Amino acid sequence: MRKITVSARATKQLGQALGKRIKPGQILALSGTLGSGKTTFVQGFARGLGIRHKIKSPTFVTFYFYPIPKTDLTLYHFDLYRLKTQAELREIGFQEIIKNKNSVTVIEWPEKAKRILPAKTKWIYFNHEGKHSGIRIIRGA
């Protein structure tokens, strides 16, 4: 997949479309610089799963979780930007969560956990054309 979006709305719509097709136990690794559209994509992705909660970046708390309506599944949204050590991943139960078949996991800044992510992880790469540009180039999965 290679998509170019020209607005936050289009990035959300792309996330929403993928959210409608996701399978239980799936892990998405969202790689990109600050402001490249990762959280915006997750907002649409959650909407595609039927989640109506306001989705915000978990940068300062490491992760949020949201029940996925009409299922026994849970969406886990991680932001590992502030992570300093691998021990912090163990402390929050990261490995148990990514192994859980009743979860859908989305990880921003996944490079910090790359060594322990399973081979089935789908990587999506985000680039943006400039600080004030709405253009995003999204490739992967």
The reported pLDDT for the residue numbered 134 is 67
pLDDT along the chain (141 residues), means of 10: 87 95 96 91 98 94 96 97 91 96 97 94 87 70 62
The reported pLDDT for the residue numbered 132 is 56
- Find, among 95, 87, 91, 121, the residue nearest to 106 by Cα: 121
Site of tokens 């994509």: 41
Cβ 123 vs Cβ 140: under 8 Å: yes
The reported pLDDT for the residue numbered 118 is 96
Task: Tell me the CATH number at 124.
Answer: 3.40.50.300
Site of tokens 């399978």: 23
Task: Give the domain extent around 97.
Answer: 2-140
The reported pLDDT for the residue numbered 141 is 62
Query: What domain count does the chain have?
Result: 1
The reported pLDDT for the residue numbered 127 is 86
- In 83-129, which residue ranges form alpha helices assigned H by DSSP? 86-91, 94-99
Cβ 2 vs Cβ 136: under 8 Å: no
Q: Which two tokens stand for residue 52?
A: 């109506």
Please tell me the distance from the alpha carbon of residue 32 to that of residue 30, in angstroms, as a whole number.
7
Rounded (to 5) percent helix, strand, coil in the chain? 30, 30, 45
Site of tokens 């910090």: 112
